[in-house]
């Protein structure tokens, strides 16, 4: 009985289902698919590694290309003056209005390109390894740009390189060192093309040949490896190639950066040092172009000082170029504090002295404890001498008795070294701050040697030209040693007295801003020791 009912139910379901379809189709209740959609064939899967080609069916008619005579065009803003050549839109110069090469009155402005790089075509594009500014023909219609306030402007360079139409749109901003580029490549030929596109950048050395603490190098930043660089000339002469999720790559010194920041991170980076020029290329590989088809790519350039206020606004984490190394956690606040004090005293040397006083006050209790510990050690010297004489032949017993002596009188023999150990990170942090802060480049303290016309501490980022501050610093260290209680060990005493000599030679080539910091710190330490001796 149950089986019969099931059979009847199945037959009725079939009749309803089939009958409904016929009825709905007859009555027009079911919407029919468009013919085009029904006949559309599924797209064939593209093979990996093969470029895709646009059908080009809707491509506009290709306008006839007419090259024009090459000429120079200038972009001037409150920050820089850039000169381009219309043959490829390459840079001839990019001078920074607020930065001179030296502190001399008539020193030329810093040029981010340089003569050697200008002759090789800086900021050009390459197609399939060919230099578009050499191999192609170009046209330009426009005039010089003079931008002020918050205005922006555009230069358009159009060229044709072996059947590929190239349109470079360079966008400038009056209040930024960033230059944006949108490039369009159009296949003006009759056969499909696969094009390799390189945004290139060239720069002569951004530092002097004798500036060993400020080398010019190739740097790059990627998601996978962070900030990295290569300064070795031999390695760069051999060539450098990397394929990373790249955010930017460029040429930098401690104070200036010329970088390419592509919109796409799926690019390769190449770098080479050749003919005195650092060259960097960011490469897009295998851009497919059917006849009449067009493809776009974009990038940003930054050519300017490593100023955080500008770099932080730039794309692709260009702010990471301001690098204080391992001690950045100390260096960054120091730079901010020095800049803060500079706003009020308008002298970076005085700002450093104020910072030194604050650091000394912060370490004052620790230094006090250290000097106290050294005084206690001095009082223990007679007892320690007796122990050494008593256990002269038993070194282990001698050490054991000395340790018992320390425990009995609650003296920490390492207490005297603690302030020095604590201040070492501060010293290196300030060193990095002075060496990598564009704000302190050419920052003057005492411009002329008193009562003379000799230029003295006119640039706190370089060494004292007369070595006066390192020598005075060494004398203050010697005075500190003489005021410090003796440990009783003659050999140790001689070694400690040698330290000022060693430090003096070390500081001869250090930035004078750093020497000023150490000198003022010594003077304050001597004052603190004098106060303790007076109370004793």
Whether residue 133 has pLDDT greater than 70: yes
Question: Residue 415: its pLDDT value, please?
Answer: 62
Closest among 236, 310, 233 to 249, alpha carbons compared: 236
| Mean per-residue pLDDT, 112-120 | 89
536: confidence class by pLDDT, cuts 50, 70, 90: low
Spatial distance between the Cα atoms of 253 and 305, rounded to a whole number of angstroms: 10
Q: Give the residues across from 248 on adjacent strands.
A: 221
445: confidence class by pLDDT, cuts 50, 70, 90: very high
Closest among 267, 223, 278 to 242, alpha carbons compared: 267
Question: Residue 392: its pLDDT value, please?
Answer: 79
Spatial distance between the Cα atoms of 368 and 403, rounded to a whole number of angstroms: 23
Whether residue 313 has pLDDT greater than 70: yes
Name the more confident of 4 and 254: 254
Contact 96, 305 (CB under 8 A): yes
Q: Which H or E element spans position 125?
A: strand 125-127
Q: Under 8 Å CB-to-CB from 195, ≥6 apart: which residues? A: 127, 128, 164, 185, 286, 287, 289, 295
Question: Residue 328: its pLDDT value, please?
Answer: 86
Closest among 239, 233, 227 to 319, alpha carbons compared: 227
| Tens digits of residue pLDDT in 363-408 | 888 877 777 777 777 777 778 778 878 887 888 888 888 888 878 8
pTM (2 d.p.): 0.79
Question: Residue 414: its pLDDT value, please?
Answer: 65
Question: Residue 485: its pLDDT value, please?
Answer: 66
Whether residue 510 has pLDDT greater than 90: no
Contact 321, 207 (CB under 8 A): no
| Mean per-residue pLDDT, 153-169 | 94
Q: Which two tokens stand for residue 477?
A: 């260290």
What's the full length of the chain, in residues?
536
Whether residue 27 has pLDDT greater than 50: no
Place of tokens 């593209």: 46
Question: Residue 403: its pLDDT value, please?
Answer: 83
Q: Under 8 Å CB-to-CB from 326, ≥6 apart: which residues? A: 428
Q: Which two tokens stand for residue 60?
A: 């506009």
Question: Residue 33: its pLDDT value, please?
Answer: 38
**Span between the terminal Cα atoms of the chain, in Å:** 117
Closest among 51, 46, 48, 47 to 196, alpha carbons compared: 51
Cα 427 to the chain's mean position, in Å?
Answer: 22
Question: Residue 5: its pLDDT value, please?
Answer: 45
Spatial distance between the Cα atoms of 112 and 335, rounded to a whole number of angstroms: 25
Whether residue 41 has pLDDT greater than 50: no
Neighbours of 86 (CB within 10 A): 23
Question: Residue 53: its pLDDT value, please?
Answer: 39
Whether residue 16 has pLDDT greater than 90: no
Burial of 117 from C-beta contacts in 10 A (0-12 / 13-18 / 19+): buried
Task: Return mean pLDDT, the chain.
Answer: 83
Whether residue 473 has pLDDT greater than 80: yes
Q: Which three-class secondary structure state does DSSP give residue 245?
A: strand
| Mean per-residue pLDDT, 215-224 | 92
Name the more confident of 208 and 528: 528
In order, the DSSP letters of 27-86 are HT-SPPPPHHHHHPPPPPPPPTTPPP----TTPPPPPPP------EEEEE-SSEEEEEET
Alpha helices per DSSP H over 202-297: 233-238
| Mean per-residue pLDDT, 423-442 | 84
Whether residue 255 has pLDDT greater than 50: yes
Q: Which three-class secondary structure state does DSSP give residue 290?
A: coil
Name the more confident of 249 and 15: 249
Q: Which two tokens stand for residue 327?
A: 């001690």
Question: Residue 3: its pLDDT value, please?
Answer: 42
| Mean per-residue pLDDT, 496-508 | 88
Spatial distance between the Cα atoms of 364 and 370, rounded to a whole number of angstroms: 10
Q: Which value, in Å, is the radius of gyration of the alpha carbons in the chain? A: 36
Question: Residue 56: its pLDDT value, please?
Answer: 42
Question: Residue 12: its pLDDT value, please?
Answer: 47
Question: Residue 77: its pLDDT value, please?
Answer: 97
| Tens digits of residue pLDDT in 329-345 | 888 899 899 999 999 99
Spatial distance between the Cα atoms of 165 and 444, rounded to a whole number of angstroms: 52
39: confidence class by pLDDT, cuts 50, 70, 90: very low
Contact 146, 121 (CB under 8 A): no
Tell me how far CA of residue 228 lies from CA of 103, 254, 325, 363, 411, in angstroms.
31, 14, 11, 35, 47
| Tens digits of residue pLDDT in 81-96 | 999 999 999 999 999 9
């Amino acid at each position: 009985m149950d089986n019969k009912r099931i059979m009847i139910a199945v037959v009725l379901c079939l009749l309803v289902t089939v009958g409904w379809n016929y009825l709905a189709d007859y009555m027009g209740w079911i919407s029919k698919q468009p013919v085009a959609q029904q006949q559309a064939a599924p797209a064939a899967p593209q093979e990996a590694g093969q470029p895709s080609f646009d059908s080009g069916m809707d491509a506009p008619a290709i306008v006839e290309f007419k090259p024009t005579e090459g000429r120079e065009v200038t972009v001037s803003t409150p920050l820089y003056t850039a000169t381009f050549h219309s043959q490829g839109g390459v840079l001839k110069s990019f001078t920074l209005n607020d930065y001179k090469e030296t502190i001399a009155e008539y020193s030329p402005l810093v040029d981010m390109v340089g003569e050697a790089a200008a002759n090789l075509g800086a900021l050009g594009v390459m197609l399939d390894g060919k230099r578009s500014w050499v191999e192609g023909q170009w046209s330009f219609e426009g005039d010089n740009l003079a931008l002020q306030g918050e205005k922006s402007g555009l230069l358009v360079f159009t060229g044709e390189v072996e059947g590929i139409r190239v349109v470079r749109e360079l966008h400038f901003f009056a209040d930024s060192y960033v230059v944006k580029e949108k490039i369009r490549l159009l296949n003006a030929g009759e056969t499909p093309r696969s094009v390799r596109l390189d945004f290139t950048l060239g720069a002569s050395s951004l530092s002097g040949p004798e500036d060993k603490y400020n080398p010019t190098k190739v740097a790059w930043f990627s998601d996978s490896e962070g900030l990295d660089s290569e300064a070795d000339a031999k390695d760069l002469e051999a060539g450098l190639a990397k394929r990373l999720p790249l955010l930017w790559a460029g040429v930098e010194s401690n104070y200036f950066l010329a970088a390419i920041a592509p919109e796409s991170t799926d690019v390769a980076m190449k770098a080479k040092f050749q003919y005195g020029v650092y060259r960097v290329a960011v490469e897009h590989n295998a851009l497919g172009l059917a006849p009449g088809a067009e493809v776009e790519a974009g990038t940003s350039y930054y050519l300017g000082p490593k100023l955080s206020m500008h770099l932080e606004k730039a794309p692709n984490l260009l702010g990471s170029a301001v690098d204080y190394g391992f001690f950045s956690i100390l260096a960054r606040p120091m730079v901010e504090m020095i800049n803060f004090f500079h706003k009020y005293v308008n002298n970076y040397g005085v700002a450093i002295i104020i910072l030194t006083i604050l650091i000394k006050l912060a370490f004052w209790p620790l230094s006090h404890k250290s000097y106290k510990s050294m005084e206690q050690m001095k009082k223990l010297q007679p007892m320690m001498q007796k122990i050494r004489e008593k256990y002269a032949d038993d070194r282990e017993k001698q050490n054991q008795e000395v340790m018992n002596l320390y425990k009995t009188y609650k003296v920490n023999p390492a207490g005297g070294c603690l302030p020095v150990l604590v201040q070492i990170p501060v010293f290196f942090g300030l060193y990095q701050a002075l060496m990598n802060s564009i704000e302190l480049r050419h920052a003057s303290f005492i411009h002329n040697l008193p009562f003379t016309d000799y230029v003295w501490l006119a640039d706190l980022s370089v060494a004292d030209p007369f070595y006066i501050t390192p020598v005075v610093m060494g004398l203050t260290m010697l005075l500190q040693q003489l005021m410090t209680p003796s440990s009783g060990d003659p050999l140790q005493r001689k070694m400690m007295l040698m330290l000022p000599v060693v430090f003096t030679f070390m500081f001869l080539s250090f930035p004078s801003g750093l020497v000023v910091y150490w000198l003022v710190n010594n003077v304050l330490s001597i004052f603190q020791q004098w106060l303790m001796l007076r109370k004793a």
